[in-house]
Chains A and B, each alone.
Chain A
Amino acid sequence: ETGVTQTPRHLVMGMTNKKSLKCEQHLGHNAMYWYKQSAKKPLELMFVYNFKEQTENNSVPSRFSPECPNSSHLFLHLHTLQPEDSALYLCASSQIWSETYEQYFGPGTRLTVT
């Protein structure tokens, strides 16, 4: 695997379910990000992890719970979601304190909450 991978690619869940999204980066980066992309809205940054430590929680509801066990893996745990949480969830990584801070994105998980 190369770059940034995300699983699953598609997820349908009921409002009472608990599920998790997984992201893995194979680039040796030290920062990882979760973004949400809803229809007709700009990408919204949700969480930032630098060196496995959370440095940003952009006022995200507690029904979204991130986990970063190491610098290569990032999870987003989901529980009691609402239909308005249906969106494309994108993971990204970058090398902070590098020359460019360029971010690389995964293919996303299309989440549908029924």
Chain B
Amino acid sequence: KQEVTQIPAALSVPEGENLVLNCSFTDSAIYNLQWFRQDPGKGLTSLLLIQSSQREQTSGRLNASLDKSSGRSTLYIAASQPGDSATYLCAAPQGGSEKLVFGKGTKLTVNP
């Protein structure tokens, strides 16, 4: 059974700092991994999807990496801004299915 863990649970940084959010998963037989952003009381916004054949994916200041063998993914945010403050969620598929298993998220606060 897939289990997803995110560390740290919360992170507070000053504006401009580069930061890394961590995600680990127990079942490495995944075909992709998704990172989402969630603002308070809102739905999820897909940030990046890394396919199993890729090692990383980039979108603007965001870079996500995937290491299936070690069951780990990281989300790197460069030059953080107050607008990046949100909860970041990592999700990996259950087995080879389309069903996603989510971590509890990392709540990021970027202070001006």
Contacts and interface: CB of A to CB of B under 8 A. Distances in A.
Contacts of A48: 98-99
Contact of B104 (A6, A42, A110): A42
Interface in B1-20: 4
Interface residues of B, number: 24
B100 to A, nearest CB: 6
A90 B105 CA distance: 16
B70 interface: no
A90 B43 contact: yes
Interface in A13-57: 31, 40-43, 45, 48, 50, 56
Most buried by B among A45, A96, A103, A104: A103
B93 A101 contact: yes
Interface residues of A, number: 27
Interface in A81-110: 88, 90, 92, 94, 96, 99-108, 110
A107 B43 contact: yes
Contact of B41 (A6, A88, A104): A88
Contacts of B100: 45, 103
Contacts of B45: 105
Given A45-B100, A102-B34, A103-B34, 14 more contacts: A4-B43, A6-B43, A41-B104, A42-B103, A42-B104, A56-B99, A90-B44, A92-B44, A100-B32, A101-B98, A105-B43, A107-B43, A108-B42, A108-B43
